[in-house]
Chain A
């Protein structure tokens, strides 16, 4: 979400195999990739790009545990402290009867927490419009983008032609 504009030099590939090889080549040449854009999740992309494993599931666990404690703790408080009532001859603290709601709230908290975390860390959400490099990226093109001021333009051109990029463009975003 940078406010500064930057000039981006990018190449479009027609196939994900070419993209993966190109990224390996870029790694070998020590070119600093700004980002890679694909129309669908490409298998193995995170490995060649050395992306760290997503920690979203940890957020999910924490939110889930919060849900468990909220639900179980609240029902316990209501039925043992705040307003104890006997239902169906069962004890005040009827653990088996608390399980269903505890489970549901665990799932609810985990799901909402994870989804909100996801959109927050990705910088996505209602009303967000990020600059689009090329409209065919969501269709059938696989894109590697470099920032022009961080690399040598000729080296990038040579890189794209070597790795078989179908098109190269420059765009200020």
Chain B
């Protein structure tokens, strides 16, 4: 290994990633043409992936900010990877822009509240239209995502890279500036991400509401981010790019995967149990639909995201074995995808039915009929969904690799570097 730990993608890596991106594109195209009249399967797949990866990059930024504020030292050896994730927010803006264009052009029927006729006839939706409207969706998304990227992710990355080149003065002023950005981002990120989650995901079930939902989704993103990180770190380490990442760091990443899987389960249980217990019709319908019509998603979600990580990672030694850790991270990543899948699909299918039924045309009615019996892609992810997800994942990894190429993998002037290099669990 060279002393400055630079990274460059090999031709093979590039080919594999492009191959998967191509596969993803193929799946997207196939989905689009094999779809119902309003392309609900295509658009909902797009929404799931766009929100998933934008969220992972948001959470990476949030983790950097939180760890910096909390004087965490051990993670410095993987800091560059999370910085790379956070830069993906710029792609997230573009991905969300497509949905915004679709909203204005009425290309998709993801959101019930976007259907003006339906809103006019529905007092509940009418009451929400002050928030659920295309102006809020557009400007909220652009301004908030723009703030995350242009006001935080990019300047923080620049500071971190400057630190590499310039080193430190006696006051550690670059580090202190980075810390200032981190502290300011925490409340801003916390407030704004909630608003975005309500818009992007919760409003898919436009009548339903849950105060917990934003935190629940953020926890889901967090676990997804950890899962991708663990797999990427293991891969890069196997390739010789991260010789300074030791079993101790992987142990800690594994702990986070374990702890936040449990935390997510806690939020899942609290939300589910309270709605189940009180049994208020407006709320219960959400879980009623999922248990009865989407049982694979409902129970699979718990198995992949709680049972597997809990029982495998409970032991200390499993967090220190590369193979086991990689396996669990992969299972959890698929589980996280399934979680977003079950958040989005039932609501979209419902809206699609309404849209198709109201259009009154014979062809559309037939298509609506078709959609209601179409299970793969709605009640369970089909091959096309999995292909699309891997396509987006490849895009994400490709982008992150591009970022990693721009700077040494070891932030050599970070004040906590020595702690991180000599990190020992316990």
Q: Which chain B residue shows the least CB distance to A53? A: B316
Q: For A127, list chain B residues within 8 Å (CB).
A: none
**A88–B276 Cα gap in the complex (Å)?**
11
The reply to whether the CB of A97 lies closer than 8 angstroms to some CB of chain B is yes
**A88–B278 Cα gap in the complex (Å)?**
9
Given B273, B279, B314, which contacts A99 in the complex, CB threshold below 8 Å?
B273
Could you tell me the distance in whole angstroms from the C-beta of A132 to the nearest C-beta in chain B? Answer: 28
Q: For A99, list chain B residues within 8 Å (CB).
A: 269, 273
A96 touches B273 (CB 8 A): yes
**A99–B277 Cα gap in the complex (Å)?**
13
A96 touches B276 (CB 8 A): yes
The reply to whether the CB of A89 lies closer than 8 angstroms to some CB of chain B is yes
Interface string of A28-60 (1 = CB under 8 A from B): 000000000000000000000000000000000
B272 touches A96 (CB 8 A): yes
A96 touches B279 (CB 8 A): no
Interface residues in A, total, Cβ within 8 A: 6
Q: For B269, list chain A residues within 8 Å (CB).
A: 96, 99
Size class of the contact patch on chain B: under 10
Could you tell me the distance in whole angstroms from the C-beta of B303 to the nearest C-beta in chain A? Answer: 15
Could you tell me the distance in whole angstroms from the C-beta of B196 to the nearest C-beta in chain A? Answer: 30
Q: For A97, list chain B residues within 8 Å (CB).
A: 273, 277
Within 8 A of B (CB), among A99-120: 99
Within 8 A of A (CB), among B263-315: 269, 272-273, 276-277, 279, 314
**A96–B314 Cα gap in the complex (Å)?**
23
Q: Give the secondary structure class of A's interface.
A: helix
Could you tell me the distance in whole angstroms from the C-beta of A119 to the nearest C-beta in chain B? Answer: 22
**A20–B7 Cα gap in the complex (Å)?**
40
Q: Which chain A residue shows the least CB distance to B275? A: A96
Could you tell me the distance in whole angstroms from the C-beta of B267 to the nearest C-beta in chain A? Answer: 14
Q: Which chain A residue shows the least CB distance to B266? A: A103
**A99–B265 Cα gap in the complex (Å)?**
12
Q: Which chain B residue shows the least CB distance to A99? A: B269
**A61–B277 Cα gap in the complex (Å)?**
30
Interface string of B245-276 (1 = CB under 8 A from A): 00000000000000000000000010011001
Q: For A88, list chain B residues within 8 Å (CB).
A: 277, 279
Q: For B314, list chain A residues within 8 Å (CB).
A: 61
Q: For B272, list chain A residues within 8 Å (CB).
A: 96
**A61–B310 Cα gap in the complex (Å)?**
13
Q: Which chain B residue shows the least CB distance to A58? A: B315
Within 8 A of A (CB), among B85-113: none
B279 touches A89 (CB 8 A): yes
**A61–B316 Cα gap in the complex (Å)?**
13
Interface string of A47-90 (1 = CB under 8 A from B): 00000000000000100000000000000000000000000110
**A99–B269 Cα gap in the complex (Å)?**
9
Q: Which chain A residue shows the least CB distance to B273? A: A96
**A88–B273 Cα gap in the complex (Å)?**
14
Could you tell me the distance in whole angstroms from the C-beta of B335 to the nearest C-beta in chain A? Answer: 20
Could you tell me the distance in whole angstroms from the C-beta of A69 to the nearest C-beta in chain B? Answer: 16
Q: For B277, list chain A residues within 8 Å (CB).
A: 88, 96-97
Could you tell me the distance in whole angstroms from the C-beta of B251 to the nearest C-beta in chain A? Answer: 15
**A61–B276 Cα gap in the complex (Å)?**
30
**A88–B274 Cα gap in the complex (Å)?**
13
Q: For A89, list chain B residues within 8 Å (CB).
A: 279
**A61–B311 Cα gap in the complex (Å)?**
12
**A61–B146 Cα gap in the complex (Å)?**
48
**A96–B278 Cα gap in the complex (Å)?**
12
**A58–B237 Cα gap in the complex (Å)?**
32
**A99–B279 Cα gap in the complex (Å)?**
18
Within 8 A of A (CB), among B65-97: none
Q: Which chain A residue shows the least CB distance to B276? A: A96
Could you tell me the distance in whole angstroms from the C-beta of A120 to the nearest C-beta in chain B? Answer: 23
**A97–B273 Cα gap in the complex (Å)?**
8
**A47–B190 Cα gap in the complex (Å)?**
43
Could you tell me the distance in whole angstroms from the C-beta of B290 to the nearest C-beta in chain A? Answer: 14
Could you tell me the distance in whole angstroms from the C-beta of B315 to the nearest C-beta in chain A? Answer: 9
13 contacts between A and B (CB under 8 A): A61-B314, A88-B277, A88-B279, A89-B279, A96-B269, A96-B272, A96-B273, A96-B276, A96-B277, A97-B273, A97-B277, A99-B269, A99-B273
User: Besides A61-B314, A96-B269, A96-B273, 10 other CB < 8 A contacts?
Assistant: A88-B277, A88-B279, A89-B279, A96-B272, A96-B276, A96-B277, A97-B273, A97-B277, A99-B269, A99-B273
Query: Which residues of B are interface residues toward A (Cβ below 8 A)?
Result: 269, 272-273, 276-277, 279, 314
